[in-house]
Copies of this chain bind each other. A is one copy, B any other.
Amino acid sequence: MATRPYSESLERLRAAGLRPTRQRLALARLLYGRGHRHVTAEQLHAEALAATVRISLATVYNSLHQFTEAGMLREVVVDPARRYFDTNVEPHHHFFMATDGVLQDISGKDVSITGLPAVPAGTELQGIDVIVRIRRN
């Protein structure tokens, strides 16, 4: 077969220094199986259960944080009610539709921001998030 999702996930976890447990492998496969994704803990947990992976919500939370720590995920802060995690860790931006909670990537390549002041004295730049809020019309 062309792709080998199992060993890809396994290598990904090894590279991050995370033990390839049943649960982490399952999550990695769900997350990186096909294209980039934006998930909440609840969503991912529901998906795992639907795929008959036995995993607790606590482990989903733990894994999301560990993956983020390891640079495999990035958190996107757009909704005060829940935390989103993005499998795309390249610099980029987002559309966010608040009504149905859907995030969509905006490639970072073409976007440029001019006219920003220098960061305040004693601080350094960590990153720039652009959230384009949209609604159905």
A residues apposed to B, CB below 8 Å: 75, 77-80, 83, 93, 95, 97-98, 104, 106, 110-117, 119-120, 122-137
Contacts and interface: CB of A to CB of B under 8 A. Distances in A.
A132 B136 contact: no
Nearest to A134: B123
B126 A128 contact: no
Contact of A134 (B95, B126, B133): B126
B116 A106 contact: yes
B132 A130 contact: no
A132 B118 CA distance: 10
Given A112-B113, A113-B111, A104 B130 contact: no
A120 B134 contact: yes
